[in-house]
């Protein structure tokens, strides 16, 4: 089922639902860890499950002959395969992510063809972050520099237009794509206004819905949604949230995701700095309150970032669903 249809169905039925994001296993791991994470949340009936896509990194080592050697590492491969495995094991809709970073248009086309054969017709189209060895995001020489270009490739494929040209008589894929949005503005954007215009470009190119970067202040989401509507973005906007679980998140979350943390949350966490269980409980309570606020405002689906750790997420869902 298309994600946009699932969202519309939840809205029409007045039913509050959640989606969540899992990571593919580390290279060498089987499916047990991810399945255990999914097991924790299945009783709450996820509307769908996203699977992240991880780009390669470069590492250097000194070879036996003393020469510097460069290796490409992909620590979490297998996004498409684990998506299909989760869908077939649990019967839940899945959304593999696909990024521009490190991939040529041909690599992307191959991944899309695999998804189509496996019956995966939903995809989240992203640019991806810069690799740790890059100063700024650098596209693959035969790839895309922005998510909107990836989205156009996906929509072209739905029309039978492949990287090397049009195929007149062919099976047409029916991908439905979502894209990312940033209530607190993406770090590369020159201004909040431009960021929204670029988001509108993705929606105009065929995106069916938007999922937001995580935030801890619901007012930031409501303000973002208002600005999107004013700019003519009419597709569903799904809020993305995550429970804070350790005191280190006070530094990590703003640095990694450009997310501001409310003063009340910071001071409450700092007051319990020596007590990890209390900090986690504060995070659970905050996330529960965010979900309740979004539910009361009539949001049909919230998207929960899990990093494949779902114990705390299950507590939040137990409080809210």
Binding site for ligand FAD (CB under 6 A): 52-53, 55, 97, 99, 126-129, 146-148, 180, 186, 188-189, 194-195, 198, 202, 211, 213, 240
The phi-psi region of residue 14 (left if phi > 0; otherwise alpha if psi is between -120 and 50; otherwise beta) is left
Report the sign of the C-alpha dihedral through residues 229, 189, 111, 41, in that order. Answer: negative
| Least Å from the CB of residue 143 to ligand FAD | 12
| Least Å from the CB of residue 282 to ligand FAD | 24
52 or 280: CB nearest ligand FAD: 52
215 or 286: CB nearest ligand FAD: 215
| Least Å from the CB of residue 100 to ligand FAD | 7
| Least Å from the CB of residue 311 to ligand FAD | 22
**What whole-number distance in Å separates Cα of residue 57 and Cα of residue 74?**
6
**What whole-number distance in Å separates Cα of residue 49 and Cα of residue 312?**
17
Beta strands (DSSP E) in 195-317 are 209-214, 237-241, 301-305
128 or 283: CB nearest ligand FAD: 128
4 or 272: CB nearest ligand FAD: 4
**What whole-number distance in Å separates Cα of residue 107 and Cα of residue 118?**
17
79 or 282: CB nearest ligand FAD: 79
Neighbours of 6 (CB within 10 A): 20
* CB-based contact 68:60 (threshold 8 Å): yes
| Least Å from the CB of residue 147 to ligand FAD | 3
| Least Å from the CB of residue 101 to ligand FAD | 6
6 or 147: CB nearest ligand FAD: 147
**What whole-number distance in Å separates Cα of residue 144 and Cα of residue 126?**
10
* CB-based contact 98:176 (threshold 8 Å): no
């Amino acid at each position: 089922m298309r994600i946009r249809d699932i969202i519309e169905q939840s809205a029409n039925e007045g039913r509050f639902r959640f989606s969540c994001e899992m990571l593919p296993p580390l290279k060498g791991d089987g499916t047990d860890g991810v399945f255990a994470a999914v097991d924790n949340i299945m009783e709450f009936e996820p509307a769908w499950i996203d699977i992240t896509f991880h780009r390669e990194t470069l590492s250097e080592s000194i070879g036996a002959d003393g020469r510097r050697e460069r290796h490409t590492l992909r620590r979490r491969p297998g996004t498409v395969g684990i998506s299909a495995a989760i869908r077939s094991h649990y019967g839940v809709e899945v959304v593999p992510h696909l990024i521009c970073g490190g991939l040529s248009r041909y690599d992307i086309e191959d991944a899309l063809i695999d998804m189509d054969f496996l019956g995966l017709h939903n995809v989240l189209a992203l640019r991806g972050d810069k690799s740790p060895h890059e100063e700024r995001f650098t596209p693959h020489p035969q790839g895309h520099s922005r998510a909107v270009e990836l989205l156009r490739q996906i929509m072209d494929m739905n029309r039978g237009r492949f990287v090397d040209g049009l195929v007149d008589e062919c099976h047409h894929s029916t991908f439905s794509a979502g894209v990312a949005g940033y209530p607190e503005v993406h770090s590369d954007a020159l201004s909040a206004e431009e960021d929204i215009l670029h988001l509108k470009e993705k929606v105009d190119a065929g995106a069916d819905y938007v999922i937001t970067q995580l935030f801890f202040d619901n007012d930031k989401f409501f303000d973002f949604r208002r600005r999107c509507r004013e700019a003519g973005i009419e597709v569903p906007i799904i809020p993305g949230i995550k429970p804070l679980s350790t005191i280190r998140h006070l530094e990590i979350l703003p640095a990694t995701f450009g997310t501001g943390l409310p003063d009340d949350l910071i001071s409450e966490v700092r007051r319990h700095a020596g007590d990890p269980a209390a900090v986690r409980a504060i995070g659970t309570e905050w996330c529960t309150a965010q979900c309740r606020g979004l539910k009361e405002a009539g949001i049909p689906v919230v998207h929960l970032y899990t990093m494949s750790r779902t114990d705390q997420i299950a507590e939040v869902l137990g409080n809210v669903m």
